[in-house]
Structure 1
Amino acid sequence: MENFVLVLFCIGIGMVFNGGSLVQSAGSFPCDPSTGLNSFPFCNTSLPIGDRVKDLVGRLTLQEKVQQLVDQTTAIPRLGIPVYLWWSEALHGVSNVGHGTKFGGSIPGATSFPTVILTAASFNTSLWKEIGQVVSTEARAMYNAGQAGLTFWSPNVNIFRDPRWGRGQETPGEDPLVASLYATNYVQGLQETNGGDPNRLKVAACCKHYTAYDVDNWKGFQRYTFDAIVSQQDLEDTYDVPFKSCVLNGNVASVMCSYNKVNGIPTCADKNLLAGTIRGNWSLNGYIVSDCDSVSVYYNQQHYGATPEDAAADAINAGLDLDCGSFLGQHTEAAVNESKVTESAVDQALINTFTVLMRLGRFDGDPAQQPYGNLGPNDVCTNDNQQLALEAAREGIVLLKNDGSLPLAAKNISSLAVIGPNANVTNTMIGNYAGIPCKYTTPFQGLSAYTQTLYAPGCANVACIANDSLIAEAVQTASSADATVLIVGGDLSLEAESLDRTSLLLPGQQQQLVTQVADASKGPVVLVIMSGGPFDITFAKDDNKISGILWVGYPGEAGGAAIADVIFGAYNPGGKLPVTWYPEDFAVNVPMTNMNMRPDNTTGYPGRTYRFYTGNTVYSFGYGLSYTKFNHNLVKAPELVSLPLDACSQMKSNSCEALSVTHTKCQGLSLEVHVDVNNAGSRDGSHVLFLFSAPPSSTLETPQKQLIQFRKVHVHAGATERVLFNLDVCKDLSIVEQTGTRMLPVGSHLLHIGDLQHSVSVQISN
C-alpha cells in the first residue's frame, strides 16, 4: 500500500482539513441526536445488526451507494451520515500513514513498538496480543479525539519468502506457523471485543496482502504488474496459511487483496480467491478491501478488463467490498446500468462494510457514551505503554555471536566508542508504517546511560559512500576507548515499500568500516545490525576481533535503551531469528521472481526458507544465543501412532505412502511430549523451545522439517522448567501434497526438540 493524493470538494458534514490531509472531526458521528436524524431503524441499537444494516442500505440511492464503495466516502446529509475515512494503519503502533489518522493537538504522538520482524523474534505469543491491545487502546483514544478512524489496515502477514524483500520488516517472518500465530494474537489484541461480544469491536483489523505478495520493485519487476506463478501446493501450505488463521482463528474484520496477479489473474478480481476462499471456504465475517488503487492498477497497468466498467464489475463480482481508491466510485454506477454487475451485488458489498462499522459502534450515537468512550489523550503514550515498547525490543534482540566478552561490565569500561551510521539515529529505529513516537532513545543515548561514551558516525549514512576522513575518525575513536560498539545495517533508503534489495552485503563501505574499527580497537568489539532483512555478515562472524554480534531489527522508540540493556547485561537476550540469513551467492544466483518454495535439482534452484532451502546459511531460522546455557531432557514422548486399516482403503493409491487427512480416522488423536528445560548457567533467562517435525522422505515433496509448535519459558539460574507439547496428529504431522491436499505420511516422523531428536512412527494397524 502506498500514499496517493486526491483533491476533493467536500459537501456535507464530518470532515476537516488538517495539515493538508483529511481527518475525521471530533463530535461528528452518525445517529447524532442533536441533528434530529437518529430515529431511523439503522440507529436503533436494540435491533439486530443485520436488520439495521439492511435498513440503511435500503435507504440509499444507487448514486449514494457507489460513493460508499471507496475509502474516502461521501457524506449523506439527509440521513445524518458524515464522511468516513477508512484508511488508518496500526502495524506496530498507530501510524500516520493513511487519510484516516492525524497526529497533533491533544495527541501529538503514539507509542511506537519495534517493527514486526523484531517483535516476532521474541516468539512470545502473549506479548504479540498485549501489543495489539495497547495499540487499539491508543487508536480508540485517537478516534474519540477525532484524530483517527476505527478501521486499521494491519497487520501484514505475508510470508517473508525472500531476504531481499523491502517489506519483510513488516512481517512476522518466513514460517507459516509463526506468521499464523502472530496474526491471530495481534488481531485478537487489536479487536479485543467488549465482554467477548463479537459485535462489539474495539477497532477493526485487516490482514494483508492476500496473496503470494512479496515482490515490490526488483530489477524492473514491479508489484503493480508482477504475475506470481504459484502452485496449489505452495498456496495451501505456505502463502495462504496466515490469512486462513487470521479469518478462522483471529476472526479478523477485513482482508486486503494485493496488487499482483496470481497465476494470471489480479487478486482483487479473482472470484476463486475472494468469494471462493476468503468469503466461502473461510467464512469471513467482515469485508474485503483492495490495496490502494489496486482496481485502477489492474485495469490501467495490467490491462485486465476491456473497459473501466468491466474492471469495476470484475472486482465486485469477485467479492471485493471496498476500493482503497476512487475507481469503483467513478465506474460502478455505469457498470450497473450496463448490466455488468447487479445492484444487489453492490448492496452485498455495502452490507459487508456497514456491518463492520455497526460492530464498531459507528452508528450507535455519541462515541463518548459507548464502550471505550472514556479513552482519551491520557491513555496514549502512558508510562506502561512505553515500558512495553522497551520490553518488546529487549525480547526480540538476537545474540548471534559471543566469545564470552558479553555482557560488558560497565565498571570495567571508562570509555566506550559508539560508532556507525545507525549509532545515533531516531527515525531509522521505527521503520515502515510508523507514526510519531512518544519520544526516542537512540543507541548512543542508551549506551551513554551506562558509561562515558565517544561518538563517531564512520559514515554519513547507511549508504556509506567512500569517506576516508570519517572512517579514519572512527578508527581513532575506537583505538582510544576501552570497548567499541559498532551499529550498522540498513534503513528505509535501502529496504522499504516499493524498494527491494539486490544484494545481501552491508552497503557501501560499511564492511570496511567494521573491519578497520575492529582491528584498531584495544578492547571488546560488539557489532550491532539494525535492519529489517538479513545480511551476509560472514566476514564478521569469522573475525576474531569482533567479540559479539547482535541483530536488533528496527527496535522502535525505546530501541537504544533495549540495545544498551542487552550489551551491559541488564537484560539476558532470548530472541531467535524468524528468518534464514542467506549468503550473498543466494542473491546473485536466485531470481526473486521464482515463487516456488521447493528446490528443483534439475535447475539448481535451492528452494526457500528453512523448510525447503538446500544451500548454505549464514545463520539458520530459530538461531539465537543467551548469556546462560540451557539443557534439554526428553521426559516423555510416544514412539508409535496406529491408524485403522480402513483409512488406507480411502486412498486411490494402494501403497498407503500417505493418508488423506480428510479421510483418516485421526481426528482428535493427540500425542503428548514432555521436555525439561534446565538453566545450567548463573543468569536467569528466557528460552524458546522449538518443536520441529521431519516427515518421512517420500515422493510428496515434503519439507526437510517444519515447525509444529514452540514455547517460550523463563527459567531461573539453576532451575528446571517442564514444557508440555500436545500434538494433534492430523494437524501437526501432516504435509500438503502437489494438488493442495493435506496428507499424513506413513512411516517415521523425526521430532527435533531443541538439541534432541525423537522418532514417532505412524503405522496402519489391522
Structure 2
Amino acid sequence: MCVKDGDVSSVMCSFNRVNGIPTCADAYLLKKLVRNDWNLHGYVVADCDSVHEIVTNHKWLNDTVEEASAQVLKAGMDLDCGRSYLKLVDAVKQGLVKEADMDKSLNYLYVVLMRLGWFDGIPSLVSLGKKDMCTEENVELAAEAAREGIVLLQNDNETLPLDPTKFKSFALIGPHANATNVMKGNYAGFPCKFITPVEGFSAFGEVTYELGCLDAICPNDTTIQSAVNITQNADVTFLFVGLSTGIEAEWRDRKDLLLPANQTLLVNKAAEASKGPVILIIMAATGIDISFAKNNPKIKSILWVGYPGEQGGRAIAEVVFGKYNPGGRLPITWYENNYVDKFPMTSMALRPVGDYPGRTYKFFNGSTVYPFGYGLSYTSFKYEYKSTDMSLDIKLNRLQHCQDLPYNDTNYMQNCSSVSIDDLTCNDEITFEITVQNVGSRDGSDAVLVYSVPPEGIVGTPFKQVVGFERVYLQADESVNVKFVLNVCQSLNIVDVSGYRLLPSGLHKIVVGDNAISIPVKISYSQ
C-alpha cells in the first residue's frame, strides 16, 4: 500500500467519480479511507480543475462553484489546482463553510512545508540561478535517460549495431525523422536544446531525410513517394514513425492500436524500395500493433524509443551505432488491434470473463504483439540459482482468522485458504541470490525482473505480478550476484473480488526473468 507503507505526504483526488460521487467531494474516500484508515500525514490535492468539473460536467447536486468549493473542503480536500478556491470567500459569507475548515487544511499544508524546510532557508537552493541550467551534467542526464528508455524489439541477424565504417549514407524518413517538440511528450519543461534524429545521425554519416508524412496524423499520401525515392540510394533506411500528443494525451483517446492513417503505407513502400536494411524506430508512449512490420523481411530491426526528450536524436543514434547497448524493457503489454473490439472502453475489469480476455500482463490471456517486460540486447545474459525449496509456516493467534477462497480445482484446496494481510504482522521475508552472467561479446545492462506466481487452482488470481527488479551493468563475460529480499505479505498477496488483500496458503513460485528460474515457496498456517 503506497500511502501507508511509503508514508506519503500528499494524495491527489481526480475529476472522475467513484460509485457515483466525485472523488474530490467524497468524505468517505478522503477523510475515512485516506486520512484515517491509511494514516495520511499530509494533504489532499485536487487534480487541476476537478472542482470546476463538479459544477460543469458532473453537475453534482446542481452545485454552484461556491457550493462545490465548500463541499470539497469539508470532504477533506486541502489544496485546489484551479481557480475554484477563489470562491471560498463567498462560500464563507453564504455560510456554506467555516474559516475553521480552511484553517484545518492550511495546517496540513504548512506541516508539509515545514518538513521540506521551506521556512528554514537553504543556501544551496537559494543560490541556484541561470548558471545552473543547461549544464553539461544536465544535458548528459537527459541523454542517459533517453538511452536507458530505448527498447530493442527486433534485431534479425544481429543487424544492429551498425558499423559506420561500412554504412555511410542514411535515409531518414517519417513524421518524426526531424522531431523536436514531439520528443517532449506531455507535461514537459523547456528543453536546453533539441538534438533531432537528423542531427544525431549526421554524426555518423551522410543523412538525407524526407518526412513522407508531415505529422503523425498523416491524413494523406501526397508526400510519401518523395520520401520513398531517397531510400534507393541510401546504405540504410531509418523509418521514424509513431504517435504524438495530438493523438495520445490527456483528453485524447485513440480509436485503434494501429499506426495512424497513411503511416503504414509509408513504411511498406519505403521498405519495399530500400536498397539496404530497414530499421523501424517507433516514437510513442503506448503500444502499437506493428505485426505487419514484424513480418516484413526487409525490416531487420525495430526500436521503441518512447518520447525520448531533448537528447532523443543523439541517444537513438548512439544505440543504433553501438555506442550504447540497449537494455530497456517494455513497461506495458502491446496488444493486437482486435483487442479493442472485445470489450467497451468504459469497462474497468481486469480479469478475463467469457470472451473478454482480461487486461494487463497480470490477467490478459490472449496473444500479444509484444509482452510486458520484453526487450532485447546486443549481448546475452544467463541466470543461475542454486535450487533451494523455501517454506514458511505462519502461527495464527486466536484473533487471526482464515479466509475462504474460491477454487476452480478442489485438489488445490487448503485447510486454511488464506489470511487477510491486515490481520498479519507481515515481518516475514524471502531472501535469495541470482547469479547474472554476461555471456555475450559486448558490455551491457540487464533488468532482472522478479515475479510472484500464486498457488494453482484459486479463482481470479493473476498469472504473475512483478515484485522486484534490479538493473545490473556487466562487461562481456562478467558475472555478479544479485540479492533480493522480498516481504512475504507484499510479494505473495492476492487481491480478492472485494478488493481485500489476502495471503493464500499453498505452493507459490518466485519466477526470475522469462521463466528462466522458478523458486517454489510453500506457505502454510497453523494455530
TM-score range, shorter chain: over 0.9
Change (3 A) 1:574 1:652: closer
Letter in 2 for 1:317: K
- Following superposition, the deviation at residue 741 of structure 1 comes to 2.1
* 1:385 pairs with 2:129: no
Deviations 1:556-600 (A, max 9, x none): 000000000000010000000000001101123332211122221
C-alpha distance in 2 between matches for 1:540 and 1:307: 52
**Alignment-derived partner of residue 220 in structure 2:** 466
* 1:598 pairs with 2:359: no
Partner of residue 430 from structure 2, selected from 649, 664, 671: 671
**Alignment-derived partner of residue 406 in structure 1:** 160
| 1:285 partner SS | coil
C-alpha distance in 1 between matches for 2:450 and 2:48: 39
C-alpha distance in 2 between matches for 1:525 and 1:478: 9
Change (3 A) 1:480 1:306: closer
Partner of residue 392 from structure 2, selected from 615, 628, 641: 641
Is residue 384–residue 436 contact of structure 2 (8 Å, CA) maintained in 1?
Answer: yes
Please say which of residues 508-517 and 563-572 is displaced more in the overlay.
Answer: 508-517
* Pairing 1:610-649 to 2, within 5 Å after superposition: 610-644=361-395
Please say which of residues 672-681 and 528-537 is displaced more in the overlay.
Answer: 672-681
* 1:763 pairs with 2:524: yes
* 1:662 pairs with 2:416: no
* 1:714 pairs with 2:473: yes
Q: TM-score, normalised by structure 2?
A: 0.92
Letter in 2 for 1:624: G
C-alpha distance in 2 between matches for 1:262 and 1:649: 31
Letter in 2 for 1:465: P
C-alpha distance in 1 between matches for 2:180 and 2:506: 54
Please say which of residues 623-632 and 298-307 is displaced more in the overlay.
Answer: 298-307
* Pairing 1:731-746 to 2, within 5 Å after superposition: 731-746=490-505
Question: Which structure carries more strand by proportion?
Answer: 2
Is residue 403–residue 419 contact of structure 2 (8 Å, CA) maintained in 1?
Answer: no
**Alignment-derived partner of residue 502 in structure 1:** 255
Partner of residue 326 from structure 1, selected from 79, 83, 103: 83
* 1:587 pairs with 2:348: no
Partner of residue 22 from structure 2, selected from 242, 263, 266: 266
* Pairing 1:419-430 to 2, within 5 Å after superposition: 419-430=173-184
Partner of residue 727 from structure 1, selected from 478, 486, 504: 486
**Alignment-derived partner of residue 411 in structure 2:** none
- Following superposition, the deviation at residue 512 of structure 1 comes to 1.2
- Following superposition, the deviation at residue 731 of structure 1 comes to 1.6
Letter in 1 for 2:163: A
C-alpha distance in 1 between matches for 2:399 and 2:452: 23
- Following superposition, the deviation at residue 648 of structure 1 comes to 10
* 1:353 pairs with 2:112: no
**Alignment-derived partner of residue 74 in structure 1:** none
C-alpha distance in 1 between matches for 2:221 and 2:63: 54
* 1:550 pairs with 2:303: yes
C-alpha distance in 1 between matches for 2:341 and 2:299: 27
* 1:394 pairs with 2:150: no
C-alpha distance in 2 between matches for 1:422 and 1:343: 53
C-alpha distance in 1 between matches for 2:343 and 2:45: 33
- Following superposition, the deviation at residue 511 of structure 1 comes to 0.9
Letter in 2 for 1:756: I
Identity of aligned residues (%): 45
C-alpha distance in 2 between matches for 1:739 and 1:590: 22
* Pairing 1:97-112 to 2, within 5 Å after superposition: none
Change (3 A) 1:502 1:647: farther
C-alpha distance in 2 between matches for 1:648 and 1:311: 43
C-alpha distance in 2 between matches for 1:534 and 1:446: 25
**Alignment-derived partner of residue 695 in structure 1:** 454
Is residue 403–residue 417 contact of structure 2 (8 Å, CA) maintained in 1?
Answer: no
Deviations 1:409-438 (A, max 9, x none): 100012111111100010011111112110
Is residue 503–residue 588 contact of structure 1 (8 Å, CA) maintained in 2?
Answer: no
C-alpha distance in 1 between matches for 2:500 and 2:225: 60
- Following superposition, the deviation at residue 500 of structure 1 comes to 1.2
Letter in 2 for 1:251: V
| 2:74 partner SS | helix
Is residue 397–residue 550 contact of structure 1 (8 Å, CA) maintained in 2?
Answer: yes
Change (3 A) 1:437 1:647: farther
Is residue 574–residue 685 contact of structure 1 (8 Å, CA) maintained in 2?
Answer: yes
Is residue 657–residue 745 contact of structure 1 (8 Å, CA) maintained in 2?
Answer: yes
Please say which of residues 440-449 and 731-740 is displaced more in the overlay.
Answer: 731-740
Is residue 433–residue 484 contact of structure 2 (8 Å, CA) maintained in 1?
Answer: yes
Change (3 A) 1:523 1:306: closer
- Following superposition, the deviation at residue 284 of structure 1 comes to 2.9
C-alpha distance in 2 between matches for 1:362 and 1:734: 39
C-alpha distance in 1 between matches for 2:473 and 2:386: 19
**Alignment-derived partner of residue 202 in structure 2:** 448
- Following superposition, the deviation at residue 394 of structure 1 comes to 0.4
Partner of residue 681 from structure 1, selected from 413, 422, 440: 440
Q: TM-score, normalised by structure 1?
A: 0.64
| 2:241 partner SS | strand
C-alpha distance in 2 between matches for 1:681 and 1:437: 37
- Following superposition, the deviation at residue 272 of structure 1 comes to 1.8
Is residue 637–residue 674 contact of structure 1 (8 Å, CA) maintained in 2?
Answer: no
Aligned length: 514
Change (3 A) 1:526 1:660: same
- Following superposition, the deviation at residue 635 of structure 1 comes to 2.5
- Following superposition, the deviation at residue 389 of structure 1 comes to 0.5
- Following superposition, the deviation at residue 306 of structure 1 comes to 4.3
| 1:298 partner SS | helix
**Over aligned residues, Cα RMSD in angstroms?**
2.1
Deviations 1:313-368 (A, max 9, x none): 220111111222332322x345445544333212111222333444555556xx6x
Deviations 1:170-214 (A, max 9, x none): xxxxxxxxxxxxxxxxxxxxxxxxxxxxxxxxxxxxxxxxxxxxx
Higher relative contact order (CA 8 A, sep 6+): 1
C-alpha distance in 2 between matches for 1:597 and 1:495: 22
Stretches of structure 2 lacking an aligned partner (at least 5 in a row): 405-413
Please say which of residues 345-354 and 646-655 is displaced more in the overlay.
Answer: 646-655
* Pairing 1:27-176 to 2, within 5 Å after superposition: none
**Alignment-derived partner of residue 568 in structure 1:** 321
Change (3 A) 1:264 1:421: same
Change (3 A) 1:334 1:474: closer
C-alpha distance in 1 between matches for 2:403 and 2:454: 21
Change (3 A) 1:491 1:757: same
**Alignment-derived partner of residue 559 in structure 1:** 312
Deviations 1:359-383 (A, max 9, x none): 555556xx6x745212111111110
Change (3 A) 1:588 1:739: closer
Is residue 638–residue 672 contact of structure 1 (8 Å, CA) maintained in 2?
Answer: no
Partner of residue 313 from structure 1, selected from 66, 70, 84: 70
C-alpha distance in 2 between matches for 1:499 and 1:351: 37
Please say which of residues 564-573 and 256-265 is displaced more in the overlay.
Answer: 256-265
| 2:59 partner SS | coil
